[in-house]
Structures are given as structure tokens and as C-alpha cells.
A and B are shown apart, each in its own frame.
Chain A
Amino acid sequence: MNLADGVQLVSFAVLAAMMLGAALGVVLLANIVYSAFLLGLVFVSMSGMYILLNAGFVAAAQVLIYVGAVNVLILFGIMLVNKREDFAPVKNVWLGRAATGAVCLGLFALLGTMILATPWVISIAPPAGDDAMVVIGKHFFSDFLLPFELASVLLLMAMIGAIVLARRDLLPDELADQDGREPPVALKLPERPRELISGKK
């Protein structure tokens, strides 16, 4: 084993330990904000794994999208609803935990047997390495042109949908207080009053 192989092995071990530790933290920590930050660490170590697998573009996309955008979105989602409230403790909480544990163990066993039973075919072609980005770019603009352009239409749809949903434009008119009345308490979402106040200015 030469130096490069040793460095790769050590990097893999460190990344795997980071990923497992952070993933356990995501599941086990009581504070959901810490869980979200640890989820970012899971994504970062996953991108390190992609680099070890010679997939530079996937690693960059992983950092850009999952760490930069999705995790930030999750954090904002948490911080929007993160109100300290005194919830009453649930009775028979061990029952729910036992059911969750059983389901998770079953899923783990299923995935484990699937991984062990699959005959993984390892490609003998040399990896594209640094040229992978150019190859992907050429595919984007030749045989994958239509999916590439459709992706922008998909992004357009996602954007419009997100704006419509986040602005709650589709709320029925009778709920919006035209004559200054408060909407019925049972039907209003927590952030709706602030939207109404800011919308009237």
C-alpha cells in the first residue's frame, strides 16, 4: 500500500465516522436546531465520499444544493415554528419508541440484505476524473438537451408554486378580513396575521 492509498483509507474512515456520528446526533439529539446543523455535517461528509469516488461534480452539487440550500431551508423551517411551548408528556411513550425502533431495525435489515444480495458490477472503464465536468456539459447540450431545458421549466414551476404557497394567495376571501374582523381562530395559520398586517401597509 503506497501513501495515496493510505491517505484515502484514513480519509474514508474519518468521513465515515463523521457521517455516522452526525447522523446519530440528528436522530438522537433533543434540540431540533442542533439536529439540523448536524444534518449539514452529514451532507458535507457525504460530499467528501463523492470526492473519494472520483465524482467531483456530484460533490460540488451536493455542497451547493444540500448544504447551501436544502439545509438552510430546513433551518429556516425549524426557526419559523420553533416556539418554546410546554407540551404535556405523552402517555406510554415507550410504546411509540419501541414501534419506531422496530420499523427502523426492519428497514435496516431490509437494506442490509439488499446490499449484500446485489451483485455489484464494478466498471472496468477508467473514471473520467477531471474531465467529467466537460463530459457532463457536452451531454447537456447534445443528447440531453431537452431534459436540460425542461429542467428550467420545472424550476420555473417550482418557483411559482413556492411563491403562491408561501404568500397564501389562495386563502378564501371570506377569511381575509375586509371589514377589519379577525379571521376565525380555528382556521387561521400561525403566520397569517402577520401577513395580513404587512399586506395592509
Chain B
Amino acid sequence: MFVLNGYEYFLGFVIVCALVCAAAIVLSTLLAPRRTGVERRTTYESGMEPIGGAWIQFNIRYYMFALIFVIFDVETVFLYPWAVAFNQLGLLAFIEALIFIGILVVALVYAWRKGALEWS
């Protein structure tokens, strides 16, 4: 038994999105001129000239940002029910959520002081 509301619109959006993607690919295969050559194989034919290969090793800095992002993503998931039930929870829950956020602000300050947020 399915009890959630509003997901019929979600399903409609998913179907429309899938159809748009499929139509873009099918139409471009049908309509695009078939020429071959070096220019044809670049990512954007009339864009910037690509420099080097795409399969390069990434900078380790990206990994640091991804790690910090994971932590705050999990925090968001914890705060999500609080935000939805905010009107029914009252002041005490607000203070408790502030404590929760405050402990994580310590983590943010630590990351900031350690230079993890800087692109050196």
C-alpha cells in the first residue's frame, strides 16, 4: 500500500526528463551531419582548445573538500526532520538543535584553523 502524497507528479517529472534526454540523443544522431576529422572528436567543437588529457590525476585538495562536505551532508540529514517538525517541537528542541550545530561549528573552526578550507 502506497501512502505517500505527491509522488505521481514526481513520476511524471522523471518520465519527462528521461524522454528529453533520449530525444536529445536520438535527434542529434538523426540530424547531425556525419563528418569525421580531428575537430569532430573534441569535446566542444567550437569551444576552447583542450589542453592535455582528461584522464589526469586530481589534486588532493579536492579530496579534502569532499571529506568535509560528507560530514556536513550527514549533519544536514540529521537536521532535516527537525526542520520539517519545527512548528510542533518548540523552544527546547531549538536549543538542542543549536547545541548540535554548535558542536559541528567546532569541527568547522578546526578545519578552518588547520587550513583545510584554503586552496593553497
Contacts and interface: CB of A to CB of B under 8 A. Distances in A.
A11 B11 contact: yes
Nearest to A55: B4
A152 B88 contact: no
Interface string B70-93: 110111111011101110110011
B20 interface: no
A162 B2 contact: no
B58 to A, nearest CB: 4
Say whether chain A's binding surface is mostly helix, strand, loop, or mixed: helix
Interface residues of A, number: 58
Contact of A137 (B2, B5, B73, B89): B89
Contacts of A104: none
Contact of B88 (A11, A79, A81, A138): A138
Nearest to B111: A163
A175 to B, nearest CB: 17
A149 B4 contact: no
Contact of B103 (A77, A156, A162, A166): A156
Contacts of A199: 120
A156 B81 contact: no
B106 to A, nearest CB: 6
A107 interface: no
Contacts of B73: 64-65, 68-69
B96 interface: yes
B77 A162 contact: no
A17 B76 CA distance: 31
Given A8-B2, A133-B81, A149 B99 contact: yes
Interface in A89-115: none
Contact of A80 (B7, B60, B70): B60
Contacts of B120: 198-199, 201
B9 interface: no
B92 A141 contact: yes
26 contacts: A57-B81, A64-B77, A65-B74, A77-B63, A80-B60, A84-B55, A134-B85, A137-B81, A137-B88, A137-B93, A141-B92, A141-B96, A148-B78, A148-B100, A152-B99, A153-B103, A156-B104, A156-B107, A158-B71, A162-B71, A163-B67, A166-B60, A166-B63, A166-B64, A166-B116, A201-B120
Interface of A: 4, 7-8, 11, 51-52, 54, 56-57, 60-61, 64-65, 68-70, 72-73, 76-77, 79-84, 126-127, 129-130, 133-134, 136-138, 140-141, 145, 148-149, 151-153, 155-156, 158-160, 162-163, 166-167, 191, 194-195, 198-199, 201
List 3 A-B pairs, minimum CB-CB distance, nearest first: A137-B85, A137-B81, A129-B3
